[in-house]
Chains A and B, each alone.
Chain A
Amino acid sequence: MTIKQLSVFLENKTGRINEVTKILGKHGINMHAFSMAETTDFGILRLIVSEVDKAVEILRDENFAVMLTDVVCISCPNVAGSLSAILEQLASKEIFIEYMYAFADGDKANVVIRPNDIDKCVEVLGGCDCEMRKF
């Protein structure tokens, strides 16, 4: 079970992230998760949002460079060692993780993973102690 992540190209400029969140807020789009990958002069804002197709459309209208990427989001117990066990499984099946970001929420921890081989990743995760979720 994969989900669509929204990636936005941003210059490193004060207030630029807020431009994106403001536009999404204005259109009633909720953000479930996001992370920022940055270099010295630009960054890639990665978002999981409520209405991804609508978000793409409105951000494109505002001249942002955006794209969609398939990722997996898992929810696992928020206890020591649970993520490690899952990553162990992925590594043993030769699945390479390009990037990931996570957030804990009560007794659950959510992890967004961008693997090199998404179909194989989904298959392996099916056998792990976690649940793949949609928002």
Chain B
Amino acid sequence: MIWNPNKECMSRDEMHALQSKRLQKLVTYVYHNVPFYRNKMQAMDLAPEDIRSIDDIVKLPFTTKQDLRDNYPYGLQAAPASEIVRVHASSGTTGNPTIVGYTRKDLAVWSEVMARCLTAFGVTRDDTFSVAYGYGLFTGGLGAHYGVENLGATVIPASTGSTEKHIRLIRDLKISGVACTPSYALYMAETLEKMGLTKEDIGLRIGAFGAEPWTENMRKEIEERLGLKGYNIYGLSEIMGPGVSYECQEQDGSHINEDHFYPEIINPETLEQLPYGTQGELVFTTLTKEGMPLLRYRTKDLCTLTNDPCPCGRTSVKMGRIVGRSDDMLIIRGINVFPSQVESVILTMPEFEPQYMLVVDRVKNLDTLQVQVEVRRDFFSDDLGRMLAMKKALADKLKSVLSISADVKLMEPGSIERSQGKGKHVIDNRKLV
């Protein structure tokens, strides 16, 4: 099924024309409403009239996560505060989260693109669908929630946690689909087995999995253990949230909602736009966003774009799996974690050397983060209680900055490997690619 064939199956020429018209309007809009973009464009001697078609997008400046941080909280917002009806936030490296304001129209677009995703996965208005992304500042929960409502299915706002209760609801309410992170899906499978139930006891058909990178092997395992078909859904809060792209029944690449989010692949070094089929950094321009529109936002996600015709009938450009990052960001339990966040916390505590190592692993299908840190000689104490308090103080601070708990491991001074040049701060033992 296709939710909006007019848009999802548009001819490439019509799409080009629509994107061109929307880009022109967007550039004029940000030029007049966001000083950050006006200044950038003026410095490049670029006026809104210079953008005549979507192909002129290469003339426009890029936007980075750093720009969002520098303009915290509302510097990149184009719409007046009176038009903003909701705000989401994602974690930032220095403790400043990224703030994204949505207008009523932005939320309508979001529900529209989410409905397209869910329809592609096979969800219909006869389904009962549970959203097990976290509800709150994170875009996953509410984003998926309103998509299900817009589609007309029944939404169960399960959120995360209370996994046993959730599984009983899936069984008793005949819930047919679930949206969550792939690692949470595996955790659900494990809980199901622990409860003495089998996949036949519940009737899940559809899984909408995203917010963290996953592999084909994980897909096979989840599908096998939960008895459903799992589809990738991609998004990022800076651009919108979940719903930027989605897999169809072919499960071969994710269709981008490119009438709203224009994708490019660039070489992260030269910033030059790359042709279809070449791997590089994914960049998005929010063609229709009002609250916080972004020009050429560098996602730092590495992947490939293709425009081969898809047997499903959709004509939109597809993106392949995310194969890595062009920066050092980690995604742990769906939360973005930068080593520099950990560093900034450690630097505030004189008890520790500025040496640290993040060890990421996946234990029983849940991501774990261990932060190894060296205790400064002068702060070593013979009192075990004081040492444990030191460890807890760091764990508490990390939790408040990262939004996920980390296991702190106190190390002897000098025991963490020093490297020449750029320090190595991450050991990721998860098998993802």
Contacts and interface: CB of A to CB of B under 8 A. Distances in A.
Nearest to A99: B384
A9 B384 CA distance: 10
A47 to B, nearest CB: 11
Interface in B354-387: 375-377, 380-384, 387
Contacts of A67: 380-382
Given A42-B409, A63-B412, 19 more contacts: A5-B382, A9-B380, A11-B411, A41-B409, A42-B387, A42-B411, A44-B382, A44-B384, A46-B382, A60-B377, A65-B376, A65-B377, A65-B380, A65-B412, A65-B413, A67-B381, A67-B382, A99-B384, A114-B382
A64 interface: yes
Which applies to chain A's interface (DSSP): helix, strand, loop or mixed?
Answer: strand
B415 interface: yes
Contacts, number: 47
A7 B382 contact: yes
A63 B382 contact: no
B383 A11 contact: no
B392 to A, nearest CB: 11
Contacts of B323: none
Contacts of B415: 11
A67 to B, nearest CB: 6
A69 B381 CA distance: 9
Interface of A: 5, 7, 9-11, 37, 39, 41-42, 44, 46, 60, 63-67, 69, 98-99, 114
Contacts of B388: 39
Query: A5, A9, A39, A99: which has the most chain B beta carbons within 10 Å?
Result: A9
B414 interface: yes
Nearest to A69: B382
Nearest to A66: B380
A114 B411 CA distance: 25
Contact of A42 (B377, B382, B410, B414): B410
Query: B384, B410, B415: which has the most chain A beta carbons within 10 Å?
Result: B384
Query: B382, B409, B415: which has the most chain A beta carbons within 10 Å?
Result: B382
Nearest to B381: A67
Contacts of B384: 37, 39, 44, 99
B381 A63 contact: no
10 contacts: A7-B380, A11-B415, A39-B388, A41-B409, A42-B410, A60-B377, A65-B413, A66-B377, A66-B380, A69-B382
Contacts of A65: 375-377, 380, 412-413
